[in-house]
């Protein structure tokens, strides 16, 4: 779970071990009754077009007490309305879908999380004691929603007779991207909490360590090559267990490239993409052909996103190209319009934000014409109807180890084989202004272009 990873990493760097136990014990958290009126009032507020500058605005860790309290109050000012928007979005689904036990569980989880925030909604966090209690609420929120995607996947599979694939894709595109933002806001404050001066002084650990490259959960010196190698090793080991062979990876381009990004997000995306390439390569009998991964940093003096979008839209009749699409600028359930050029996702910094493109090229036979247009559909899977029924009823023997590889960020092994891996990877990539484009030569292989935009220059 990302919150535990961030908390433990921050604890190792800055102390604060005394709070890990508190966050995990989930001591009695105060709640308030969530009324329909409260939901409507909060959902009527326009969504804040949160920028990455907001997440970094409280300064580099270790934060002072004043900076930490500002982070807590900023987090508090953002989350209640976002939760209310999600509740309304779920309630806008057809009644028979909302009545599904899995979808209903997610609705109830959002109501619970809002109930834990309402006691703080009308006041200011002014003391460290209040901040500690508020951070426990944030930890409870992250834990409560840790399995949202897997539960929703099962719910929509069970209710798929009553809602179209287009409706599911539209809802999940909005809902899951909003979930990424909600978790990120909470996780960022928790990580800043553990790396603050105030709580380090209260800890028994007073180690002096070198300056960290992290600002909360953002690594300002993230090296994609290192994450690629880590994901390669994990996917390769599982392939060797399942198939008895593992393809090799040849890394080219500029492996020393660094960007400011979220490590866990990138790890999920790359695991999903490498899993697909490894499997296709082996099952095509081409395991002796290396998978070529090229890391290409984007020039800093260009409009990177516009250039990348134009590149992704190019193609030829010989190539099946499936590109990422832009995120909606409105919350459909609440009919809230955001400022021009803004979206419900977190926006990159205004200054030039150097990015990177990672190309993954395999000889796995490509994607068939009947399948390539379905890549971004949530729930698109090669499983047959009986296997899907087994999965939704819980009677299947369980997913393979290869399917379970991407479970960490996605929310559990129950997602395996249900067709959420690539669309979810696209959501993580697109959240910071990046994207995924797929070019396939059927009968030969596939090129996947993962474009990432960094957080920007951070002093």
CATH number, domain containing residue 138: 1.20.140.20
Residue 402 shares a structural domain with residue 266: yes
Report if residue 178 sits inside a domain: yes
**Would you tell me how many other CB atoms lie within 10 Å of the CB of residue 249?**
21
Tell me, yes or no, whether 412 and 401 share the same domain: yes
Q: Which helix (H) or strand (E) holds 447?
A: strand 445-453
Contact 204, 156 (CB under 8 A): no
Residue 254's SS3 state is: coil
Q: Are residues 125 and 12 in the same domain?
A: yes
Q: Residue 4's pLDDT is what? A: 41
CATH number of the domain within which 321 lies: 3.30.565.10
Same domain as 193, residue 274: no
Task: Check residue 165 and give its pLDDT.
Answer: 82
| 339 falls within a domain | yes
Query: Could you tell me the pTM of the whole model?
Result: 0.79
- Tens place of pLDDT per residue across the chain (459 aa): 343 444 444 433 433 333 333 333 445 788 889 999 999 999 998 887 677 677 888 888 889 999 999 999 999 999 999 999 999 999 999 999 999 999 999 999 999 999 999 999 878 999 999 999 999 999 999 999 988 888 888 898 889 899 888 888 889 888 888 888 899 999 999 999 998 887 766 555 444 445 688 899 989 899 999 999 999 999 999 999 989 999 999 999 999 999 988 999 999 999 999 999 999 999 999 999 999 999 999 876 555 455 555 554 554 333 344 444 443 333 444 444 444 444 445 554 444 457 899 999 999 999 998 888 888 877 654 444 444 455 444 444 444 555 544 444 444 333 445 567 888 899 899 887 889 999 999 999 999 999 998 765 555
Q: Are strands 249-253 and 291-297 parallel, antiparallel or unpaired?
A: parallel
Q: Are residues 290 and 437 in the same domain?
A: yes
459 found inside a domain? no
**Concatenated DSSP letters of 163-193:** S-HHHHHHHHHHHHHHHHHHHHHHHHHHHHH
For tokens 């004043």, the residue is 66
pLDDT of residue 458: 57
Q: Residue 458: inside a domain, yes or no? A: no
Q: Which pLDDT score is estimated for 36?
A: 95
Q: Do 210 and 228 fall within a single domain?
A: no
- What is the rounded CA–CA span in Å between residue 32 and residue 245? 55
Q: Which two tokens stand for residue 74?
A: 């900023």
Give me the pLDDT at residue 231, please.
95
Residue-number span of the structural domain to which 272 is assigned:
218-453
Q: Give CA–CA dist 452/195, Å, rounded.
A: 27
What is residue 129's predicted lDDT score, i.e. its pLDDT?
A: 92
Are 41 and 92 in the same domain? yes
What's residue 116's pLDDT?
Answer: 95
Q: Of 191, 215, 239, which residue sits at a domain end?
A: 215
Number of domains forming the structure of the chain: 2
pLDDT at 191: 93
pLDDT of residue 30: 87
190 shares its domain with 234: no
Same domain, 361 and 395: yes
204 and 288, same structural domain?
no
- Same-domain pairing of 295 and 417: yes
The residue among 151, 181, 215 that closes a domain is 215
Residue 107 falls within a domain, yes or no?
yes
Of 215, 233, 268, which residue constitutes the final position of a domain?
215
Asked if 271 and 165 sit in the same domain, the reply is no
Helical axes 421-430 vs 263-283, angle rounded to 10°: 140
């Amino acid at each position: 779970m990302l919150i535990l990873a961030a908390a433990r990493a921050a604890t190792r760097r800055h102390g604060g071990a005394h709070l890990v136990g508190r966050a995990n014990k989930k001591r009695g958290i105060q709640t308030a009754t969530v009324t329909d009126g409260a939901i409507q009032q909060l959902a009527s507020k326009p969504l804040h077009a949160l920028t990455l500058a907001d997440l970094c605005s409280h300064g580099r860790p270790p934060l002072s007490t004043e900076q930490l309290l500002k982070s807590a109050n900023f987090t508090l000012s953002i989350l209640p309305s976002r939760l209310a928007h999600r509740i309304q979005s779920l309630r806008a689904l057809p009644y028979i879908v909302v009545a599904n036990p899995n979808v209903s569980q997610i609705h109830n989880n959002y109501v619970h999380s809002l109930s834990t925030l309402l006691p703080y909604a009308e006041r200011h966090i002014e003391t460290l004691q209040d901040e500690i209690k508020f951070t426990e609420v944030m930890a409870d929120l992250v834990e409560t929603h840790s399995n949202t995607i897997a539960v929703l996947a099962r719910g929509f599979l069970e209710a798929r007779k009553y809602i179209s694939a287009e409706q599911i894709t539209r809802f999940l595109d909005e809902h899951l991207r909003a979930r990424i933002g909600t978790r990120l806001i909470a996780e960022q404050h928790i990580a800043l909490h553990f790396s603050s001066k105030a709580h380090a002084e209260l800890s028994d650990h007073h180690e002096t360590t070198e300056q960290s490259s992290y600002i909360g959960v953002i690594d300002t010196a993230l090296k994609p090559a290192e994450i690629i190698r880590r994901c390669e090793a994990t996917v390769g080991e599982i392939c060797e267990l399942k198939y008895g062979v593992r393809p090799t990876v040849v890394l080219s381009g500029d492996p020393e490239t660094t960007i400011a990004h979220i490590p866990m997000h990138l790890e999920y995306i790359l695991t999903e993409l490498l899993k697909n390439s490894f499997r296709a390569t082996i099952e095509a009998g081409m395991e002796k052909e290396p998978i070529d991964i090229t890391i290409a940093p984007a020039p800093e003096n260009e409009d990177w996103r516009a250039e990348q979008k134009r590149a992704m839209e190019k193609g030829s009749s010989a190539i099946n190209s499936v590109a990422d699409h832009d995120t909606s600028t409105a919350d459909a359930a609440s009919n809230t319009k955001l400022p021009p050029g803004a979206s419900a996702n977190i926006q990159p910094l205004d200054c030039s934000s150097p990015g990177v493109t990672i190309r993954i090229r395999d000889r796995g036979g490509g994607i068939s014409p009947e399948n390539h247009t379905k890549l971004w559909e949530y729930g698109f899977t090669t499983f047959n109807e009986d296997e899907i029924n087994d999965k939704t009823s819980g009677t299947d023997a369980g997913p393979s180890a290869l399917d379970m590889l991407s479970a960490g960020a996605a929310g559990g092994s129950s997602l395996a084989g249900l067709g959420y891996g690539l669309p979810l990877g696209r959501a993580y990539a697109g959240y910071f202004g990046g994207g995924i484009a797929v070019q396939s030569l059927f009968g030969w292989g596939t090129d996947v272009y993962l474009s990432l935009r960094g957080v920007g220059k951070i002093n």
